[in-house]
Amino acid sequence: MVGKFISFEGPEGAGKTSVLKVLIPRLQAQYGPQLLVTREPGGTDNPVAEAIRDLVLSPDYPTMDIRTEALLYAASRREHIQKTIKPALVANKIVLSDRFVDSSIAYQGAGRGIGFEAVRKLNDFVLEGFLPDCTIYFDIRPEVGLARIKAHRQNEINRLDLDPIEFHQRVSAGYHQLAKQDPKRIIIIDAEQPIEQVIEDAWQVVNRILKMEE
């Protein structure tokens, strides 16, 4: 595989989507159709993964079993990798994904309390060793991220945004543990800075990765 795969990770309201909105036109100007922007759960031009997204994020199922939830994210990811990400990388594209497997480890493993190892094992089956070349972690205190969402996105609150603050604190601790375990892949940026600085920091990381030789 020859392209580059970069995932964007972080708690709710960290600014991933806002930063991507600015980086996409910049990268399109440089790379044109060689750029693919996608997301999890779900995936660009991936109806199966998007159908699972609708199901797993629906506020209609507040009592979904936590392992069922982990399986749905994993199933969506498998489809995303096989049908969207790997074909793009084979075609030498740059793939940017708003969330990937670290979300499962942090949210299901740490947040829901299933445990890192169980969620890792489940995702080993899905990933078969496949991981992003780089992951940009948007570091923000969960209360700050949630306050941003409450202030700006009342109409978009999903099932997870309704979880108690303790859940989001466990997610945040899970991400920090992951970043400690894999400091080479996971690059931390301070997402509490003014948006312009967060964009600049993410831009520097993306450029560094794209300019790296195979």
Ligand X SMILES: Nc1ncnc2c1ncn2[C@@H]1O[C@H](COP(=O)(O)OP(=O)(O)OP(=O)(O)O)[C@@H](O)[C@H]1O
Binding of ligand LXEULUCI at residue 99 (CB under 6 A)?
A: yes
- Residues 65-84 binding ligand X (CB under 6 A) are none
DSSP label at 108? I
- Residues 15-54 binding ligand X (CB under 6 A) are 15-18
Q: What is the side-by-side order of every strand in the sheet holding 94-98?
A: 35-39, 94-98, 4-9, 134-139, 186-190
Binding of ligand X at residue 148 (CB under 6 A)?
A: yes
| The binder of ligand X chosen from 37, 71, 131, 149 (CB under 6 A) | 149
Task: Please list the alpha-helical segments (H only) found in the chain.
Answer: 16-31, 47-57, 66-80, 86-90, 101-103, 116-127, 142-152, 165-181, 195-211
Q: Is there a contact between 75 and 43 (Cβ–Cβ < 8 Å)?
A: no
When the beta carbons of 89 and 201 are compared against ligand X, the nearer one is 201
Binding of ligand X at residue 109 (CB under 6 A)?
A: no
Q: Is there a contact between 104 and 70 (Cβ–Cβ < 8 Å)?
A: yes
- Residues 59-98 binding ligand LXEULUCI (CB under 6 A) are 73
Taking the mean position of all CA atoms in its chain, how far away is CA 119?
15
When the beta carbons of 27 and 105 are compared against ligand LXEULUCI, the nearer one is 105
Q: Residues annotated in the binding site, as ranges?
A: 10-17
Q: What are the residues binding ligand X (CB under 6 A)?
A: 10, 12-18, 148-149, 152-153, 194-195, 198
